[in-house]
Amino acid sequence: MRAAVYYNWFPDTWPTKPVWTPSLGYYDSTLGTYQAHIAMMPYARCRAGISSWWGPTSAYSLRFDDQLRAAEGTTFRWCLYYETEGYSDPQSNVLAQDLTYAFNRWASHPNYLRKQGKPVIFAYAGAPDGPFMCDRWKIANDGRFYTVLKVFRGFENVASLPKTNSLPTWLPRPHCSRCNGATLNPSRLI
């Protein structure tokens, strides 16, 4: 499945003197904008969007409601991209609270992306992230989400990385098939 990473906060960052103009013009974050973007996704062969999410207290968190609403009546799916992990190492209990919020608020929506019957969530990773990130996510998730963690140096030697597809890893292109000499199994990628 091809999916696009989507930043619902981007319109708030339009530069004062832009060097280019989006084909939709300088759009805002409204239901109509999300519907227009979803209508464009088939041209890129994208069937899902991975929406940037900074947790329940983020000013942009509620925009995900409109993104799901905009997908209603289509085959397009959304899931979350947990950005906080890339800039801090939330403790398992804090991470569990954020995952519980996302699960209770959005996971049952028919346009939320599912893999193996579970709602999908991606997590960003910072340069120092490693095996402890896997441990924290395994504890916090408690099997609710199909969790997709970004690959980090030494991932292939992590004991807490389950061999089942419950905690796969991902690499953004162009490095989609190799990481530090280790070949990734495509079945472990969404």
For the chain, which domains are there? 3-188 (3.20.20.80)
Cβ atoms of 140 and 92 closer than 8 Å? yes
Cβ atoms of 71 and 106 closer than 8 Å? no
Give the model confidence (pLDDT) of 110-136 as tens digits. 999 999 999 999 998 887 888 888 889
Contacts of 37 (CB under 8 A, 6+ apart): 6, 24, 49, 70
Query: Is the pLDDT assigned to residue 164 strictly greater than 70?
Result: no
Q: Once rounded to an integer, what is the mean pLDDT over residues 71-82?
A: 97
* Closest alpha carbon to 125 in 184, 60, 170: 170
Q: What are phi and psi of 95, to 5 degrees?
A: -60, -40
| Residue 16: both structure tokens together | 């004062």
The overall pTM is greater than 0.85 = no
Give the model confidence (pLDDT) of 11-62 as tens digits. 887 777 667 788 888 888 899 999 999 999 999 999 999 999 999 999 888 9
Give the model confidence (pLDDT) of 92-114 as tens digits. 999 999 999 999 999 999 999 99
Residue 140's CB is within 10 A of a number of other CB atoms, namely: 21
How far is it, in rounded angstroms, from Cα 59 to Cα 54?
A: 9
